[in-house]
């Protein structure tokens, strides 16, 4: 059925939602066109198990391989026993020249285990870092009203140091919205939040359009684990944080974070993802190509919708 065949109210919705943002499928059964994205897992394998600085070098190589001349935002930090570096670096690919920015971020640093070994960091957060290099490549095929900055943040695990330094040094009034991708477990559902935060309605609305456009089940979390999005929230910049998880696990996560005493979960229950990240289990065996492709498709659709609507 075409838009013109519908009554006026729906026809209006057709014209305002579907053009020229992402195409919202006619029905939930419409087949999803999966992006090709060759060598996604090979790229992920090249950073998993490596030190944060080496991961950064590899991700810069990936940006270059995708045709970008990436920028580096260096910032100084206070070294500590757990975080011995004196500087950090955020890695940036920039698209377009619009007067306002959309920032798309993922942290690429990894934590260290008690014995000093570095965590593999496939789920948290190598997968999303690699995906964003591909998001940048895909977005280059689109004409953008905004300047889009794909930023891979350093030292998130040490207290959001990279994103805080970025927000401090940025022209904050220029930033229309920030999208943060952290944790890619499986291709069941996209989790997003924290929707109890104020000022982000336009971004949440854009995400719902992107979920419909990509045929993705999306679950809103009033409370959601903190990541680099918090640095932007603190500066009053509209934002959302997203992650991919199995459907059951996403609901378990929701109950753990939002269910309170009446969650129905047994005492001490811990969702699988929280037993994987920051442990030796976060390795290449946990990599999920379908979830990475899904994340790519949703983030591209979201940026295009925000570019159109903000």
Residues that bind Zn ion in the complex, under the rule CB under 5 A: 124-125, 182
User: Which residues are CB-neighbours of 146 under 8 A, at least 6 positions away?
Assistant: 96, 98, 100, 101, 102, 176, 306, 307, 310
Least CB distance to Zn ion at residue 147 (A): 26
Least CB distance to Zn ion at residue 260 (A): 25
Least CB distance to Zn ion at residue 270 (A): 17
Q: Which is nearer to Zn ion, 227 or 252 (CB)?
A: 227
Tell me the CA distances in angstroms from 70 to 62, 169, 303, one per residue in order: 10, 18, 19
Distance CA 3, CA 239 (A): 32
Ramachandran region, residue 270 (left: φ > 0; alpha: ψ -120 to 50; beta: rest): beta
Least CB distance to Zn ion at residue 310 (A): 26
Supply the DSSP string of 228-284, one letter for each residue. THHHHHHTT--EEEEEEE-HHHHHHHHHHHHSGGGS-PPTT---HHHHHTTSTT-SG
Residue the block writes with tokens 């290099």? 133
**Assigned token pair, 265:** 């979960």
Distance CA 5, CA 11 (A): 8
Least CB distance to Zn ion at residue 197 (A): 18
**Assigned token pair, 293:** 């492709």
Q: Which is nearer to Zn ion, 82 or 141 (CB)?
A: 82
Q: Which is nearer to Zn ion, 68 or 153 (CB)?
A: 153
Least CB distance to Zn ion at residue 53 (A): 17
Distance CA 73, CA 58 (A): 16
Spatial strand order of the sheet with 239-245 comes to 71-76, 87-95, 147-153, 101-107, 175-184, 239-245, 189-193, 218-220
Q: Which is nearer to Zn ion, 109 or 297 (CB)?
A: 109
Q: Which is nearer to Zn ion, 182 or 220 (CB)?
A: 182
Q: Which is nearer to Zn ion, 137 or 182 (CB)?
A: 182
User: Please, are residues 130 and 47 in contact by the beta-carbon 8 Å criterion?
Assistant: yes
Q: Which is nearer to Zn ion, 202 or 274 (CB)?
A: 274
Least CB distance to Zn ion at residue 130 (A): 14
Least CB distance to Zn ion at residue 256 (A): 17
Q: Which is nearer to Zn ion, 263 or 279 (CB)?
A: 279
């Amino acid at each position: 059925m075409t838009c013109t065949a519908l009554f006026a109210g729906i026809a209006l919705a057709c014209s305002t939602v579907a053009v020229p943002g992402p195409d919202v499928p006619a029905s939930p059964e419409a087949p999803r066109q999966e992006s090709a994205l060759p060598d996604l897992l090979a790229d992920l394998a090249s950073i998993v198990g490596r030190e944060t600085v080496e991961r950064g070098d590899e991700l810069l190589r990936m940006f270059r391989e995708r045709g970008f001349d990436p920028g580096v935002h260096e910032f100084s930090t206070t070294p500590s026993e757990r975080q011995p570096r004196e500087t950090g670096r955020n890695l940036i690919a920039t698209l377009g020249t619009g007067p306002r920015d959309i920032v798309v971020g993922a942290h690429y640093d990894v934590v260290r285990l008690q014995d000093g070994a570095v965590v593999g960091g496939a789920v948290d957060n190598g997968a999303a870092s690699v995906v964003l290099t591909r998001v940048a490549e895909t977005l280059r095929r689109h004409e953008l009203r905004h300047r889009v900055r794909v930023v891979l943040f350093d030292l998130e695990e040490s207290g959001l140091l990279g994103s805080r330094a970025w927000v401090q040094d940025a022209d904050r009034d220029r930033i229309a919205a920030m999208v943060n991708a952290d944790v890619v477990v499986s291709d069941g559902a996209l989790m997003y939040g924290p929707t109890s935060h104020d000022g982000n309605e336009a971004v949440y609305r854009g995400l719902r359009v992107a979920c419909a456009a990509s045929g993705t089940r999306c679950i809103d979390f009033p409370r959601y684990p903190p990541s680099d999005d918090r640095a932007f929230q603190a500066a009053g910049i509209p934002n959302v944080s997203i992650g991919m998880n199995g459907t059951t696990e996403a609901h378990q996560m929701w109950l753990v974070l939002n269910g309170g005493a009446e969650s129905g979960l047994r005492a001490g229950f811990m969702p699988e993802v929280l037993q994987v990240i920051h442990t030796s289990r976060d390795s290449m065996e946990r990599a999920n190509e379908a979830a990475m492709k899904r994340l790519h498709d949703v983030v591209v659709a979201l940026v295009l919708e925000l570019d159109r609507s903000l």
